[in-house]
Amino acid sequence: MARNVCFETRNNRFGSLRYHGQSRLVGALRLIHTRGFVKCWNGNPGYSRWGCRGLRIGGKTHVLNVAITDQMNHLIFPKHESIVHSAGLWYILPGVHELGSKELVFTNFATPFYLQNHMYLRVWYGEDLKGWTEGDNHGRACVDVYARFI
Average pLDDT value over all residues in the chain: 93
> Domain ranges in the chain?
2-149
Alpha helix segments (H runs only) across the chain: 126-130
DSSP 42-70: TTSS--BSSB-TT--BTTB-S-B-EEEEE
**Is it the case that residue 54 has pLDDT exceeding 80?**
no
pLDDT digits (tens, 9 = 90+) for 95-135: 898 888 999 999 999 999 999 999 999 999 999 999 999 99
**Is it the case that residue 11 has pLDDT exceeding 80?**
yes
- Stated pTM of the model: 0.95
In degrees, to the nearest 5, what angle opens at C-alpha 42 toward C-alphas 59 and 73?
A: 70
CATH of domain 2-149: 2.60.120
CA proximity to 30, closest of 83, 93, 84, 85: 93
Read off the pLDDT band of 33 (50, 70, 90): very high
